[in-house]
Chains A and B, each alone.
Chain A
Amino acid sequence: QKEVEQDPGPLSVPEGAIVSLNCTYSNSAFQYFMWYRQYSRKGPELLMYTYSSGNKEDGRFTAQVDKSSKYISLFIRDSQPSDSATYLCAMMGTSYDKVIFGPGTSLSVIP
């Protein structure tokens, strides 16, 4: 079993829909949780990071962390075709640890 699990999709939604992307993890030592967006043939782009449990909002994006369930989510409101990409969750224990990535979820937003 991998340390970080993520449904690979593909996930296809109509433009304007609310998208929910999720990851589960097994290592209770993880404290930092990140979401990256990766367009085809490009490098991952950091969207958001959160520390410990709770919510964080940035524009149309909301990240949630539930450490008791070892479950993190990324919500995208009013999804746009430009949001079509692979979304990778990533996490680490202390801020000096190596980052462990999930396998990524492929999202397509249909106009």
Chain B
Amino acid sequence: AAGVIQSPRHLIKEKRETATLKCYPIPRHDTVYWYQQGPGQDPQFLISFYEKMQSDKGSIPDRFSAQQFSDYHSELNMSSLELGDSALYFCASSLGLSSYEQYFGPGTRLTVT
């Protein structure tokens, strides 16, 4: 079965650069969630979109923005990168707003040097 696709899988950026992470949800899933997971940490919710509208917001820095497009894929834009932004970024998708059944992608490992 098709899963959530994330690209790129690995990304290395320097401080103050920008990065764009992409997420392609499971076909027919209309809700996308973004999480940040630091080493040895649990995933921290950043933001979610349902039907191309922001549905919830967590601990997302103002330097980050995201959107969901008409084909339901989503992009997380990160500017003025800091060393502390180095983490695994996961995207998850679900069908509808009921978020107890989320399916996670493989993640993008971002390293800021």
Contact = CB atoms under 8 A, between A and B. Distances in A.
Interface of A: 32, 34, 36, 41-46, 49, 51, 88, 92, 95-99, 101-104
B102 A46 contact: yes
B106 A43 contact: yes
Given A98-B48, A103-B41, A104-B42, A44 B90 contact: yes
A42 to B, nearest CB: 6
Nearest to A99: B99
B70 interface: no
A102 B43 CA distance: 9
25 contacts: A41-B109, A42-B106, A43-B90, A43-B105, A43-B106, A43-B107, A44-B43, A44-B90, A46-B101, A49-B101, A51-B100, A88-B42, A92-B100, A95-B100, A96-B98, A96-B99, A98-B48, A98-B58, A98-B99, A99-B33, A99-B100, A99-B102, A101-B43, A103-B42, A104-B42
